[in-house]
Homo-oligomer: A and B are copies of this chain.
Amino acid sequence: MSLRNVLVVLYDGMQSLDVTGPVETFAALDHFGGRSGYRIRTVSPGGTPVRTHSGLTLVPDGDPEGARPAPGTTLPVPGGRYTADFEPRLTDWLRAHGSGAERLVAVCTGALLLAAAGLLDGRRAASHRMFLDRLPAFGAEPTGERVVFDGKYVTAAGVSSGIDMGLALLGRIAGDEVAQTVQLMTEYDPRPPSDAGSPDKAPADLVARLRAVSPP
């Protein structure tokens, strides 16, 4: 079970749900037959607390320089309110050490961070569908899929898709039965009030308005 060693990248402005979706599914493994050995470590540039987009304050266990991804590490990379200027300490570190992880999992614009670090060159990747068109500039091949597996890279669409990604990953690693039990534990039986969760389903004027206020 190689989800025991999880190293999470945190940064100011990140979306908290991008991280909690996957790690809540990973952590649920602990319920089975005692301990799975799940161990999580968080890092942020400079090792300082980060304030998420939703206003929660997360304290990292250290900084990236002190935590090179050991073999067997799963490295979740959350998205955030997209700006053209990614935190350079993070992209530099990902460029230098990211490929040392066993598996890199990005949610939402987290894929853009991986791509900006040169890690998705020539790879198929998902991202928030409103930002998919920014992937090719970094050499990645965008797809409109919810979850994409390509080698050691697992990318997912916007924000909430991290839950789907976590369960899909558990299924591959630990089998469908474990994934289903974790789905039951997290009671993932979605009931969205509308069918408006993607640009091809939401009313066109809402999509246009959202594009208009999205950062460049």
Contact = CB atoms under 8 A, between A and B. Distances in A.
Interface of A: 6, 8, 15-17, 19-21, 23-24, 26-27, 31-32, 38-40, 42, 49, 53-61, 108, 128-130, 146-147, 157-161, 163-164, 167-168, 171, 176-177, 179-181, 183-199, 201-203, 206-207, 209-210, 213
Nearest to A128: B187
Contacts of A184: 130, 196-199, 202, 206-207, 210
Contact of A187 (B27, B38, B190, B198): B198
A206 B190 contact: no
Contacts of A42: 55-57
B181 A167 contact: no
Contacts of A209: 181
Contact of A17 (B24, B146, B177, B201): B24
A215 to B, nearest CB: 10
B54 A186 contact: no
- Max count, chain B CB within 10 A of own CB: residue among A61, A181, A198: A181
Contacts of A26: 54
Contacts of A128: 187
Contacts of A53: 24, 27
A167 B183 contact: no
B19 A56 contact: yes
A135 to B, nearest CB: 15
B183 A202 contact: yes
A157 to B, nearest CB: 5
A60 to B, nearest CB: 8
Closest 4 pairs between A and B when the two form their complex, measured CB to CB? A158-B187, A189-B197, A40-B55, A190-B190
Given A54-B20, A194-B180, A186 B164 contact: no
6 contacts: A17-B163, A49-B59, A57-B60, A161-B189, A181-B209, A184-B197
B161 A185 contact: no
Contact of A20 (B6, B17, B61, B157): B17
Contact of A192 (B15, B39, B190): B190
